Chains A and B, each alone.
Chain A
Amino acid sequence: DTGVSQDPRHKITKRGQNVTFRCDPISEHNRLYWYRQTLGQGPEFLTYFQNEAQLEKSRLLSDRFSAERPKGSFSTLEIQRTEQGDSAMYLCASSQDRGRADIQYFGAGTRLSVL
């Protein structure tokens, strides 16, 4: 499979629990992005990695959120002490560094429901 893979596809959790999502990018892609999409909205940028370095985090990413990309391969996004407002689709995307022609390839997303 040469696409971006995300796991799990769906996650239901109770408020206050911790959750972790995984993203496996396309193997030769050095850039990895996380976005969050709520119902009726476009995706919003959360954070960006170039290889293993996390180079930018959105103000949307509170201190309950943490992301890693060890060895510049897969990435994880953890949410601690989940809140109902965290319910959303979490999308991962990867790309090669092609400047103005940079195309991001998206995974199918992880849908989080916080009860």
Chain B
Amino acid sequence: KQEVTQIPAALSVPEGENLVLNCSFTDSAIYNLQWFRQDPGKGLTSLLLIQSSQREQTSGRLNASLDKSSGRSTLYIAASQPGDSATYLCAVTLIGGSNYKLTFGKGTLLTVNP
């Protein structure tokens, strides 16, 4: 059974700091890995998707990397801002069948202090 673990569970940083969120998964037979953002009481917004054949993806101040062989991904946020405060979730899609269901970690709660 695929298990996804995110470290740390919570992180508090001052505004402007660069930071790294970590995600690990136990089964490397994945189609892709995605990072999502969730604001309190809200749904999820996809930030970055890395296909299994890719090493990294970038969007603005966000950079996500994938090392499929070691079962690890990192999300790098540059020059953090208070608006980045949210829960960040990592999710993988396992190979097999037509169902691209996501298996999520528990998330990292990020607080960026002004």
Contacts and interface: CB of A to CB of B under 8 A. Distances in A.
Interface of A: 4, 6, 31, 33, 35, 40-45, 48, 50, 55-56, 91, 93, 95, 99-109, 111
Interface of B: 4, 31-32, 34, 36, 41-46, 49, 51-53, 89, 91, 93, 97-107
B11 to A, nearest CB: 15
Contact of B45 (A55, A106, A111): A106
Contact of A91 (B34, B43, B99, B103): B43
Given A41-B106, A56-B101, A103 B31 contact: no
5 contacts: A33-B102, A43-B89, A100-B53, A102-B31, A102-B100
Given A42-B107, A109-B43, A111-B41, 18 more contacts: A4-B43, A6-B43, A33-B101, A33-B102, A35-B102, A43-B44, A43-B104, A45-B101, A48-B101, A55-B98, A56-B99, A93-B44, A99-B31, A100-B51, A101-B51, A103-B46, A106-B44, A108-B42
Contacts, number: 65
Contacts of A108: 42-43
A110 B105 CA distance: 21
Contacts of A102: 31-32, 93, 100
A95 B44 CA distance: 14
A100 B19 CA distance: 28
B22 to A, nearest CB: 15
B91 A42 contact: yes
A45 B53 CA distance: 25
